[in-house]
Amino acid sequence: MSKIISIIFIILRLALGGMMIYGGIQKFKNLDPSPIEVVEKAQKFQEPGQRNTLQKILYINGMKQTGYFWQVLGICEIIFGILLIMQGTGFIGAIFLLPITLHIFLFHLFLESDEVGELFLTGGYFLVNTLLIVKEYERWKKLVWIKIY
């Protein structure tokens, strides 16, 4: 039974790492739109029923318009995904990826709550990431718990 659980965690680690690497690479595929293109696109979604779409457009394109943040996020996803896939650095990769998977989940929770499939998928990323860290509890418990004599 222990061997099966170990294999499951290896598969989860490889899957999450692969998804993060893929997501990081995708951040470099499309050219950043000009500020005028963003404004024109945002003006199309000013109806009250399209508020969530407008928020998503402004949020994502705001990160892209900084000229660095979208790319830094992509680089972090690639590096941390590679760390997660590698045998010896999987734990540190999982720790570094935790805020990113939390952010992805919260983005979908607050800005795409109507997309139930996306919400479950991104919640799964966060859950898998959390499980990978909790699995290594013995390695990090001394950082959290201090023995008082």
**112 belongs to a structural domain:** yes
**51 belongs to a structural domain:** no
Two tokens, residue 70 = 């979208």
Residues 91-134 pLDDT 10s: 999 999 999 999 999 999 998 888 899 999 999 999 999 999 99
**41 belongs to a structural domain:** no
CA neighbours within 13 Å on the CB side: how many for 130?
9
Residue of higher predicted confidence among 124 and 65: 124
Q: What predicted TM-score, i.e. pTM, was given to this entire model?
A: 0.85
Q: Write out the residue range of the structural domain in which residue 76 sits.
A: 2-32+67-144
**149 belongs to a structural domain:** no
C-alpha to C-alpha distance for 102 and 75, rounded to whole angstroms = 17
Is 90 exceeded by the pLDDT of residue 64?
Answer: no
| Averaged pLDDT for residues 45-59 | 81
- In the three-class reduction of DSSP (H, G, I as helix; E, B as strand; rest coil), residue 3 is classed as helix
* Predicted confidence band of residue 148 (pLDDT cuts 50, 70, 90): low
Task: Report the number of distinct structural domains present in the chain.
Answer: 1
**129 belongs to a structural domain:** yes
**37 belongs to a structural domain:** no
**11 belongs to a structural domain:** yes
Single out the residue of 19, 8, 21, 51 nearest to residue 122, CA to CA: 19
To the nearest whole number, what is the mean pLDDT of the chain?
Answer: 89
Query: Which residue spans within the chain are E strands per DSSP?
Result: none
**54 belongs to a structural domain:** no
pLDDT at 147: 66
